[in-house]
Structure 1
């Protein structure tokens, strides 16, 4: 990306070279890359983890290892997926990219390139939210906003694995049906359903134990009214353009907790255990990347422009055949 602005003007194809990877990096030849709302935030200048351009776009990618630094646990020729070194300007919409080694996995058997490319960010974020930051317990009620999106769909699946009763909220019949196929116990359309009444019915008036919120805005404000005493809100993002509005007095009187969720790499041993658990679940078929639209490499600007209102599932860019 060369400047902030509309995706068609901000993104520019350039030729470049890649040096040998530094410690902590793995250089791969990219076959597919995962896409999402952060790409739109980057091009518009609203992504808090990056400064001014130029920098590469694309936070996750899958492909073949071509070079590693001394002491790496990976080797050339291995098939891997991981989070790109995007905070240093390296994005996955490229022939080659540096992955953060601590956030790189060997692709489980049976996982397609598209599934592998869209696996790391969504499931690592869901794990951070539902296990590390606001743990959900078996039998508790978990409401997922934006449940048909790349963040929400992973939380629906992981929530089911963790034993929660999952209530998925989406904004169209197509997306509601998509959430049902993912295994949500209950599906709500925030455009047509009375969310407060339906949540009371589903929870027998008790309210929600945990709200997983990648959306924010008015819909989040509505479901917060249904949070149970001692409940939790996991703030994942603000796809609506605004965070969930919160009233400190309401938080105090109803005794609920609000936590921010940023899936930053922890110490190497802990991070390795997280990725091992996620890859085991993927290998077992318990979780799978909810692949949606797949774009050609030359469609990246159009793909980014669509992320303000994406179709159901995880958007993927096919970089190489």
Structure 2
């Protein structure tokens, strides 16, 4: 692999997978979740990766085929988790290593497609809405890019925490998708005045928490709709550029911005996170908002489309 357009840079290679070391679980992959970071990696714009070659795909689901001594998993377990992509082992492969601390047994009701796209979006949403800027029952949560991977997860997690959720997206298809996944209100940022509409929906108060995986002009407009003492949760920049923050505006209106990178904490803290998410999923309180499903041979094309994805979480089917 080399940096460039996915069609030119993403290559299929024959690999071997040694026995997993401490903290790893080797799985036979059935499905893998996709997202905008794949496009950033292919283009050489992902800040945490070095030079290619490396494996693409941050999350995967499948059956455990090998574990190190002392693992809490067993061969044959059906699991989903975050891959060791930072070490070169991604999910778009027959086999991959999952980080054991970020892996769970798949709840019985969860399909392979839902499992493959579950970990990254919900772990990111948890980091933003539970760890870094907790949204509470009765508050207003404004979710940008709400039909996307982390946005769709934040929408559901916000509802699970008792918030009123306003979902922002850019097409009727995506707004309908948000309604089906529990949004209380939807706003089209392309056709509506976003600050005015939020003011109308909140009686002029604004949103307590703004979940922003988008950045750019949409996020800049959303800043005008932050309530006093509100918080802006900075998740990503799907628009291609971060939101420009005005420190004087933050001071005068008394709101804060919180950066979120969902990296693992202590093993004990991670266990709490994943147990909570697994329990919510087992009770169908949250579920992966699956959108388009691709076949393995279509990965380069799929990655190229992540800059402008359709509604829902994109998933790749590796094995039937």
TM-score by length of 1: 0.99
Alignment of 1:83-102 (within 5 A): 83-102=82-101
| 2:132 paired with 1:112 | no
Task: Please state how far the C-alpha of 1:228 moved relative to its aligned partner.
Answer: 1.1
Q: Deviations over 1:173-213 (max 9, x none)?
A: 00000000111000000111111111111110011111000
Q: Which residue is 2:66 aligned to? A: 67
Task: Please state how far the C-alpha of 1:312 moved relative to its aligned partner.
Answer: 0.3
Alignment of 1:1-321 (within 5 A): 2-321=1-320
Partner Cα distance (1:225, 1:245) in 2: 12
Note the residue ranges of structure 2 that are not aligned, 5 or more in a row: none
Note the residue ranges of structure 1 that are not aligned, 5 or more in a row: none
Partner Cα distance (1:195, 1:267) in 2: 39
| SS in structure 1 at match of 2:149 | coil
Task: Please state how far the C-alpha of 1:226 moved relative to its aligned partner.
Answer: 1.3
Partner Cα distance (2:199, 2:109) in 1: 41
Task: Please state how far the C-alpha of 1:273 moved relative to its aligned partner.
Answer: 1.1
| SS in structure 1 at match of 2:229 | strand
Partner Cα distance (1:286, 1:191) in 2: 30
Partner Cα distance (1:198, 1:250) in 2: 20
TM-score by length of 2: 0.99
Partner Cα distance (1:16, 1:161) in 2: 41
Partner Cα distance (1:255, 1:192) in 2: 29
Task: Please state how far the C-alpha of 1:45 moved relative to its aligned partner.
Answer: 0.6
| SS in structure 2 at match of 1:151 | helix
Task: Please state how far the C-alpha of 1:28 moved relative to its aligned partner.
Answer: 0.2
Runs (4+) off by over 6 Å:
none
Cα RMSD for the two superposed structures: 0.6
Q: Deviations over 1:45-73 (max 9, x none)?
A: 11011011000000000000000111111
Partner Cα distance (2:165, 2:49) in 1: 34
Partner Cα distance (2:89, 2:122) in 1: 21
Task: Please state how far the C-alpha of 1:281 moved relative to its aligned partner.
Answer: 0.5
| SS in structure 1 at match of 2:137 | coil
Q: Deviations over 1:132-161 (max 9, x none)?
A: 000011111110000000110000000001
Q: Deviations over 1:269-317 (max 9, x none)?
A: 1111111110111011100000000000000000000001100000000
Partner Cα distance (2:283, 2:76) in 1: 25
Q: Deviations over 1:68-90 (max 9, x none)?
A: 11111111111000000011011
